[in-house]
Amino acid sequence: MSDENKQSKRRLPEWLKRRMGTGQTFNHTHHTLDTLGIETICTNADCPNRGDCWSRGTATVLILGNICTRNCKFCSVGHGKPLPPDATEPERVAQMAKEMGLKYLVITSVDRDDLADGGAEHFRDVILQCREIVPTLEFELLVPDFRDSQEESLEILKSALPFVFGHNVETVPSLYSTARPGGDYRRSLALLEKTKQSLPNTQTKSSLMLGLGEKDDELMGVLKDLRAIGCDRLALGQYLRPSKDSLEVVEYITPEKFDWWAEQAKELGFTWVQSSPFTRSSYHAEEK
């Protein structure tokens, strides 16, 4: 890429400019998370929607610590050797849900390949504890690929009965070796397919970041693969480089093109679609 080209990639197009959050609800969200020591993917991934989401009194909880056992090239979450699961976390997350008056909670985690169940038991414990304190709360999980334990982990999560079970394929298969070297496209599809079989009343969901250099026909191929395994929900958003060590943005996709992808996805049969430059898997996840 020429220097001029690199320079223009660094300048954000108008449609990607976002205001910081302020106001009473934003401050309450911030204070509650801080006081209870809750990690969020909003902060750890430097999500551009934080101002918007926190001002609406919602946040996505990051459980099982903020050190990942993998090192995806699009992600700014730290990697290395994680700490053991924190037994106080389920109670703290439940308190947070109560204090924020939540009706819908998205819970995600780093990859925990160091744990035999990939962290499934801890996910379940967080949900069960939240339900004790806020019985009406609905849950959306965004889980890792449970590399060595898909069946066992799903068996554990069965009793948690999430409303939505999400696992992100993140990008097209040809970009896995550069963007997601620890991942495996087929393994990710397999997890979503097994989920549909073992939790038939739970909606399955996946997300991709666009702008990493994927081709339209490759993306269409992924959407068809997802529908072929019964995936219900889809989120498409713009990849934004979270740190100087992360992959460069190859292309800024226009809002019109995101709208076009939304139409394509609906035609393929996805029942819930979010597709816009700022879409993230948890963005407006609570909208039915």
**What is the binding site for ligand SF4 (CB under 6 A)?**
41-42, 47, 49-50, 53, 58-60, 280, 282-283
Q: Across the strands, what pairs with 63?
A: 109
Nearer to ligand SF4, 202 or 279 (CB): 279
Task: Give which of 121, 109, 117, 125 is closest to 60, Cα–Cα.
Answer: 109
| CA atoms 37, 42, 43, 44: torsion sign | positive
**Residue (47 or 234) nearer to ligand SF4, CB:** 47
Nearer Cβ to ligand SF4, position 140 or 225?
A: 140
Q: Give the shortest CB-280-to-ligand SF4 separation in angstroms.
A: 4
CB of 37 to ligand SF4, least distance (A): 17
For 112, list phi and psi in degrees, rounded to 5.
-125, 70
Q: Which is nearer to ligand SF4, 264 or 282 (CB)?
A: 282
Could you tell me if 253 and 237 are in contact, meaning their C-beta atoms sit under 8 angstroms apart? no
Q: Is 270 helix (H, G, I), strand (E, B) or coil?
A: coil
CB of 273 to ligand SF4, least distance (A): 16
Q: How far is the CB of 215 from ligand SF4 (least distance, A)?
A: 26
> Which letter, b or e, does each residue of 188-225 get, where b requires 16 or more Cβ atoms within 10 Å of its Cβ?
bbbbbbbbbeebeebbbbbbbbbbbbbeeeebeebbeb
Q: Which is nearer to ligand SF4, 31 or 187 (CB)?
A: 31
Residue 163 CB, shortest distance to ligand SF4, in Å, is 16
Integer angstrom CA distances of residue 253 from 201, 216, 272: 34, 11, 21
Cβ closer to ligand SF4: 47 or 107? 47
Of 259, 252, 247, the residue nearest 17 (C-alpha): 252
Minimum CB separation from ligand SF4 for residue 247, in Å? 19
Identify each DSSP E strand in the chain by its residue range.
60-63, 67-68, 78-79, 104-109, 138-142, 164-166, 203-210, 233-238, 272-275
